[in-house]
Structure 1
Amino acid sequence: MARRSLWQRHRNKVLFSSATVAFIFSTGAVSLYLIKKWLWRQQLKITEQQFVKEQIKRRFTQTQQDALYTMYELVPVLSLVLVKDLNVDEIVGSLKGKKLLRKLSRDFKDAERDGLSSGMSTSVTEAQATANATPDNARTKAELWNDLKLKSLVKLCTVIYSVSSLLLLTRLQLNILARREYLESAVKVAVEKKSSTPGFFTSWINSIWQTPPNTSQAFQKENSVSTDLSEEAQQIRKSSYINEQAFLSFSWWLLNRGWLQFKSLAEKLVEREFGELNPRDVLSVEDFGERLSRVLHSINKELLVQPQHQSKDEKQPVKQILLPDSNLEQFVLQQTLDPDALKQLYDDNTVLRQLLNETSKCVQSTASLVVLESLVNDAFQFTMLHVEESVAKKNKRKPVDDDASSVAASTAADVKFQMALFSVSCKGCCDEMLKSGVVSMNNMFLQRLDSIPELDDLSASVYSNFGF
């Protein structure tokens, strides 16, 4: 009775205490489970963010590599285009023909003087007549050398600006496309993830109250919808692909039309700086570099310096060189695309319009002009290193100085070389810059330009600019 009375007296307290302990324990267990799940989700989120960052970094690096490989393919095309107006090899061949003609003439005179047989004299005479039949024989040797001087320098300046501009345009195009492709894929993944992961309570309630649908009817309906969506998605994908290919094809303008403005400026300024020099005139490497630097500086002033009072309708010169005016865009597309692709663009060119508008803004930006100037400056440094090394190898004469100590103390910059030697070295430098064929991927000039920090900074800015 005592025990029963004790239990009855404390029963409510015991039950309340037990319920409280059970509640605290269960609440703690649930809280611990929720905290562990939250921590797991946070860890998963951090891991996903790190993965996304690495993926963005890898894709960015791959895009810059793709741009360099694209340049390996485009530079040989530029080389073929330049040959039509700036065929320096033809002038060199004519000079070699003149040299061969003089040698044959001397041999012929020696043969006549030595009283050789008429058969020998006839063969020499025929060879001489063949040499005389070349078209450039009408020009004198001095005229050919002067032509080589001007054309080699004009071609050098044209190559410097054309390759630099082509690299800038290629980087802009590929980074804009890569960012667009990444953004589309990221949005798609986010939408799919959100739609495939409903809330826990929502899915639990739906699983209770919803009746299972007819399996066969549901399968047929889903299959029909997926087929329709697949066809629509394929059409959208095809249209987007054609728009992107059309966008990339606009490099045709620079390769076939835009570079002519570089040539025109170079012709005027090279004539101003080097026109009065004869092939036999001598100057040091430093003097040659100063003259060439003035040419490039004047071209920069014409192209890269934005006027203070520029109207809205007035376009930046570089933009007109890299991209055609809107009234010429259709002409470029007709040169580069097949009829089916053109028809597709007639139906929908929204993507192409967006890409061109963004590229136009990038090309005219101060950042792009600074990068282009940096590329030109680096190309100048490459040129001077190549020319200095080349003239030193080709020059057979040694500097004459009575004072042996002054000869030992003199630097290479004090040694003077004939202008003709600089002309030949400029031709060789152009050949080095425009390497093609199996050696195109060993183009040290392209690799040097591709590695300047300013170009990578601009590419990163364009690639990460999701505001567009």
Structure 2
Amino acid sequence: MISATRGWLRRNRTPIAVGVGVVGAGYVVSQYVLGKISDARERMSGDRIARENLRRRFEQNQEDCTFTVLALLPTVTDNILAEMETERITFELQQQKAAKLARNGEPHPSELGSGPPSVTDDDRSMVSLQSESGVHASQMGIPSVTSAGDGPQDGGQQAQKARKTKLQLWNDLKISAITRAFTLIYTLTLLTLLTRIQLNLLGRRSYLSSVVSLATGGVEQSTISLENHDDDNPDQAYGNDFETNRQYLTFSWWLLHQGWRKIMLKVEEAVKEIFGPLSPRDDISMQKLSELTLEVRKKVEGATEEDRQASKWLEYLLPPQEQEELVLKESGMTTDASSASATTSPALRRLLDETSDLIDSPPFAHVLTLLLDAGFSTLIDQKVAQQAYKAPAVPEVPDLDAPRITELHDPKPVKLPIVLAIFTRQAHSIGNGVPNEYLQAVEQVRDLEAFAAVVYSSNWESEISPIKDEGSFPGKDSPRGPESVITESPPQEEVVAGQDSVVDVGTASTFESAWGKAVDTPEKPT
């Protein structure tokens, strides 16, 4: 038996050896393939987790932007309301009317109701303004009038003087009410865009800092878990240079205290030119109001697409370089001139330069136009249309391609003071509304989130090196043009899916490129 077995093995030793070799090779190959599949699954799982963490951080960043705008908006609103005292002009008109009626022994305008046949057009205008705006001396803290016992008039000359004063007040009220509401819309929109740029630039630095630190922390770290520990570690908030980031964020002071005034003067000039010829006795239709508003916007923003792209908004949002020290001092970041060296620090200089490039870029002008469309549509097509012209409410989610409300309805024209009263009241809603419907309308524009995503994911290649070199940022001697800033893709594909936009979002994922390089760093031989 043993000899027979030995003989069989000798005769078949070659096939047996081949069979064993094939089985062994098959086992080795199968184990190698299974290992590669397992590695690929781990990498795919790591990529998915990283993308989800990036998306979560990006979305949290946008929520931070909203809360920041709501926190800053009351400051600039108070400045604008204090500068343009529309309610005080209204009260002066009420004083004049009350004094005239007292001298003539007639009842107060509030007792006139809808106005008897003997009431003049100016009386009805005053009654409309009072009833629509609800402005009274007790609400404004203005002392009551005591001129009811004035002496007799000096004839036609004094009456003519009083008449001119009254017409001047009406003209001032008209310009003030419209300019104030429009200025607040422009300021709200610009503040929203500036805040998105600032927080997304800092959010990008924070994210890349965490990626690089994890990737270079040791070979044992094979995957990256990008959890947001900003709340737990203040030193990681928006990057690794907390003081520089604080200084950078304080540059919103310029818009809140200086930039809005320049906007107001530009808007006021356009309003005087377009709305100046209107009289308080005039009836104004919804269509006419929309056309006049559009004319004002053309004067401020530009009449054509080329003009809007060429418009420069940087002077309203950031100070000139020679006044950067003033901004830091006024915002409390520095206390004397000796601390001005912070304005020339490479890290802060780089952030300010990139912000300037973004503001001067064509996508900024495009997104700004869309946001202004949403803001003015809320004011004119919704609030004024519903409250002054009694038009039906529009859907909560407006369709920008749908016909305007003035094309769907032809409401009856109303007196100009009624419209002015709506503008007066809506100015407070734009700046201090809770909830702020205008900010909600602006943030519903999808191009805003797309623009924020582009900012968040742009210039990652140039950002990684400075972070790894512990903040050795290039200075202003190597400027970047707008084209080098708005060229990358957003971290969220759904942000711009199915949407036409001039924002260049690209096709490749900047996140995947930067994250992949960070992951590969520990695997490279040293």
Q: Check conservation: 1:81, 1:256, Cα contact below 8 A.
A: yes
Going from structure 1 to structure 2, the CA distance change for 1:337 and 1:26 (only over 3 Å counts) comes to farther
CA distance in 2, matches of 1:158, 1:289: 17
- The one-letter code sitting in structure 2 at the alignment partner of 1:351 is A
Equivalents in 1 of 2:102, 2:95: separation in Å? Answer: 10
Provide, for residues 275-303 of structure 1, a one-character-per-residue CA deviation record: whole Å limited to 9, x for no partner: 12221122212112211210111111289
Name the amino acid aligned to 1:72.
L
Q: 1:346 to 1:455 in 2, by over 3 A?
A: closer
Does 2:363 align with 1:346?
no
**Residues 79, 235 of structure 1: CA spacing in aligned structure 2 closer, same or farther, 3 A cutoff?**
closer
Report the CA distance between 1:253 and its aligned residue.
Answer: 0.7
Alignment map for 1:119-138 (pairs within 5 Å): 129=146
Q: Secondary structure of 1:317's match?
A: coil
Residue by residue over 1:242-282, the C-alpha shift from the partner in whole angstroms, topping out at 9 and shown as x without a partner, is: 11111111111111111222111112111111112221122
Please say which structure displays the higher CA radius of gyration: 1
Counterpart in the other structure of 1:301: 302
3-state SS of 1:382 partner: helix
TM-score, scaled to structure 2: 0.65
SS in 1 for 2:193: helix
CA 1:162 to 1:109, structure 2 compared with 1: closer, same or farther past 3 Å? closer
Q: What residue is the counterpart of 1:48 in the other structure?
A: 46
Measure the CA separation in 2 of the matches of 1:235 and 1:57: 19
Cα deviations across residues 310-349 of structure 1 (Å, max 9, x unaligned)? 9xxxxx6211111111111121111224348995963983
Matched residue, 1:187: 212
User: Does residue 1:390 correspond to 2:390, yes or no?
Assistant: no
Given the two structures, how large is their TM-score scaled by the length of structure 1? 0.72
Shift of 1:88: 1.3
Structure 2 Cα separation of the partners of residues 347 and 359 of structure 1: 15
| In 2: Cα distance, 1:302 partner to 1:259 partner | 22
Aligned partners of 2:279 and 2:416 also within 8 Å: yes
Counterpart of 1:360 in 2: which secondary structure? Answer: helix
> Counterpart of 1:363?
359
The CA distance in 2 between the partners of 1:411 and 1:9, in whole Å, is: 102
Aligned to 2:312: 317
1:424-462, Cα deviation, whole Å (9 max, x unpaired): 2211221221125xx2xx001100001101212211211
Matched with 2:61 is: 63
The answer to whether the Cα contact below 8 Å between 1:273 and 1:295 also exists between their aligned partners in 2 is yes
AA at the equivalent of 1:268: E
> Whole-Å Cα distance in 2 between the matches of residues 270 and 106 of structure 1?
36
CA–CA separation in structure 2 for the residues paired with 1:25 and 1:467 = 48
Counterparts of 2:304 and 2:22 in 1: how far apart (Å)? 77
Kept in 1, the 8 Å contact 2:342–2:348? The answer is no
Aligned to 1:208: none
1: CA distance, partners of 2:70 / 2:186: 16
| Structure-2 residue corresponding to 1:76 | 74
For 1:66 and 1:380, the matched residues in 2 are separated by 25
Q: How many residues align?
A: 389
Secondary structure of the equivalent of 1:192?
Answer: coil
Aligned residue identity for 1:357: D
Counterpart code for 1:57: R
Cross-structure match for 1:94? 92
Tell me: CA distance 1:419–1:245, structure 2 relative to 1, closer, same or farther (3 Å).
Answer: same
Q: Distance in 2 between matches of 1:467 and 1:154?
A: 44
Write the distance in 1 (CA, Å) between the matches of 2:299 and 2:451. 25
Task: Please tell me whether the aligned partners of residues 252 and 332 of structure 1 are also in contact (alpha carbons under 8 angstroms).
Answer: yes
Counterparts of 1:116-265 in structure 2, within 5 Å, are 129=146, 140-192=165-217, 194=219, 196=221, 240-265=241-266
Counterpart of 1:367 in structure 2: which amino acid? P
In 2, the alpha carbon distance for the partners of 1:33 and 1:66 equals 49
Equivalent-residue separation in structure 1 for 2:303 and 2:361 (angstroms): 16
Change (3 A) 1:187 1:285: same
CA distance in 1, matches of 2:254, 2:305: 19
Distance 1:300 1:177, change over 3 A: same
CA distance in 2, matches of 1:94, 1:332: 37
Give the conservation status (yes or no) of the 8 Å contact 1:150–1:275: yes
Greater length-normalized contact order (CA 8 Å, ≥ 6 residues apart): 1
Q: Distance in 2 between matches of 1:72 and 1:297?
A: 28
> CA contact under 8 A between 1:253 and 1:323: conserved in structure 2?
yes
Deviation at 1:418, TM superposition (A): 1.9
Distance 1:270 1:7 in 2: 110
1:252–1:336 Cα contact (<8 Å) kept? yes
Question: What is the alpha-carbon distance in structure 1 between the residues aligned to residue 56 and residue 183 of structure 2?
Answer: 34
Residue 248 of structure 2 aligns with an amino acid whose one-letter code is F
For residues 82 and 141 of structure 1, the distance between their equivalents in structure 2, rounded to whole angstroms, comes to: 24
Instruction: Specify which of 435, 442, 451 is matched with residue 432 of structure 2.
Output: 435
Q: Secondary structure at the match of 1:413?
A: coil
Aligned partner of residue 302 in structure 2, secondary structure? helix
Q: Tell me, what secondary structure is at the counterpart of 2:414?
A: strand
Report the 3-state secondary structure (helix = DSSP H, G, I; strand = E; otherwise coil) of the residue aligned with 1:250: helix
- 1:266–1:295 CA contact under 8 A, matched in 2: yes
The 3-state SS of whatever aligns with 2:410 is helix
State whether residues 190 and 368 of structure 2, in contact with CA within 8 Å, keep that contact through their aligned partners in structure 1: yes
Q: In the TM superposition, what is the alpha-carbon distance from 1:368 to its structure 2 partner?
A: 0.4
Q: In structure 1, what residue type is equivalent to 2:217?
A: E
Distance 1:132 1:379 in 2: 47
8 Å Cα contact 1:179/1:464 also seen in 2: yes
Distance (whole Å) between structure 2 residues aligned to residue 374 and residue 252 of structure 1: 25
2:273 is aligned with 1:275: no
Matched-pair contact (CA < 8 Å) for 1:303–1:318: no
8 Å Cα contact 1:289-1:384 kept in structure 2: yes
Query: Does the aligned pair in 2 maintain the 1:75–1:163 contact within 8 Å?
Result: yes
Offset of 1:142 from its aligned partner? 3.1
C-alpha distance 14-42 of structure 1, shift in aligned 2 (>3 A): same
In structure 2, what is the Cα distance between the partners aligned to 1:305 and 1:425? Answer: 33
- Larger deviation, residues 246-255 vs 414-423: 414-423
In the superposition, relative to structure 1, how do residues 346 and 414 fare at CA in structure 2: closer, same or farther (>3 Å)? closer
Moved more, 331-340 or 362-371: 331-340
User: Compared with structure 1, are the counterparts of its residues 424 and 13 closer, same or farther at alpha carbon in structure 2 (3 Å cutoff)?
Assistant: same
Name the residue aligned to 2:486.
none
Q: Within 2, Cα distance between the matches of 1:434 and 1:245?
A: 25
Q: Distance in 2 between matches of 1:287 and 1:74?
A: 34
Alignment deviations for residues 215-262 of structure 1 (CA, whole Å, 9 cap, x no partner): xxxxxxxxxxxxxxxxxx979999701111111111111111112221
* Fraction of identical pairs, as percent: 24
The aligned residue for residue 330 of structure 1 is 325
Q: CA contact under 8 A between 2:84 and 2:176: conserved in structure 1?
A: yes
Pair 1:344–1:261, CA change in 2 (3 A):
closer
Q: Which moved more, 1:458-467 or 1:163-172?
A: 458-467
Q: Take 2:285 and 2:28, find their aligned partners in 1: how far apart are those partners?
A: 85
CA distances 1:113-138 after superposition (whole Å, capped 9, x unpaired): xxxxxxxxxxxxx97637789xxx99
